[in-house]
Structure 1
Amino acid sequence: MEPGGSPPPVRTESGTGWVLVCDDTASIRLLMRINLELAGFEVLEAGDGQAALDVLDRNPDRLPAVILLDAQMTPLDGWGAVAAIRADPALAHLPVVMVTASLQQREKERSIAAGVDAFVAKPFEPEDLVDLVGDLAVSGRRTPQP
């Protein structure tokens, strides 16, 4: 740990150690934030898909290591946000994790088709989420299995 008891910042291949957490439930964002910060990540939050895209637009020179998206949000849900991310050449390389309460086979197939790199089912174990984010931050995009 660094002086003052905080963990060292996470170092990734891209040099960024921050994560974009997008969920319309404030308590879920807080849970993710606390656990990711304890692991050394900086966290920026968004309450819906459009707000997540706005955060990315405001940080073009400092992109996140990983993006966590809730599937069900309004006005722009996780599906719309991941479609916009994959359509933007400056963002398409970023790992995206879909965090959802519904991980039925149809949802997994939809996620893979949309270009999602991994899935996390709600409720989730915070340690598992942190491990996944850490792996993606270092290794980058991967193709999930249905």
Structure 2
Amino acid sequence: MGDVLGKVLVVDDDEVIRQLIAVNLNLEGFEVVTATDGQDCLERVLDVMPDVITLDVMMPFLDGWTTAQRLRAEEATSHIKVVLITARAQDDDKVRGRGIGVDAYLTKPFDPAELIQVVRDLAAGSQG
């Protein structure tokens, strides 16, 4: 095994998508931890301290927008790279994401290769 490329916290309430993302990133050499929703993400993020968080937008309890805002609001987590993954690709969503400080935006259904590239670029940037 070579060096781990980085640690990714994958947050999605859909187990199939969560596993799809986790497996793809794992195969690529990332250490992956999963969370089932925004609340779960916020409870685990300080223990995990990931380089990148992939965040589904539509989740029960705490959606991706709110989760991203809370991550950005806390000094301990404000530096973590965030990728929003959503079925809604409207421009106003992207503007909202940029306003929060989201680092990247992927639309479902996404190409796993594209996801890996985005996470790889962000993880490399967070470690440099």
Interval of TM-score (by shorter of Structure 1 and Structure 2): over 0.9
Residue deviations 1:69-111 (CA, integer Å, cap 9, x gap): 0011010000111111000011101110000000111111111
Match of 2:120 in 1: 134
Q: Which runs of 4+ in 1 moved over 4 A?
A: none
User: Can you give the 5+ residue segments of structure 2 that lack an aligned partner in the other structure?
Assistant: none
Match of 2:83 in 1: 97
User: Can you give the 5+ residue segments of structure 1 that lack an aligned partner in the other structure?
Assistant: 3-7, 12-16, 141-146
Max Rg structure:
1
Distance in 2 between residues matched to 1:88 and 1:129, nearest whole Å: 26
Work out whether residues 46 and 77 of structure 2, in 8 Å CA contact, stay in contact via their aligned partners in 1: no
Number of aligned residues: 126
Among 25, 33, 48, which residue is 2:22 paired with?
Answer: 33
Which is helix-richer, 1 or 2? 2
Distance in 2 between residues matched to 1:58 and 1:131, nearest whole Å: 25
Among 7, 10, 24, which residue is 2:4 paired with?
Answer: 10
Match of 2:97 in 1: 111
TM-score by length of 2: 0.94
Aligned-CA RMSD value: 1.0
Distance in 2 between residues matched to 1:9 and 1:40, nearest whole Å: 8
Identity value in percent: 44
Distance in 2 between residues matched to 1:72 and 1:84, nearest whole Å: 16
Distance in 2 between residues matched to 1:139 and 1:58, nearest whole Å: 21
Match of 1:122 in 2: 108
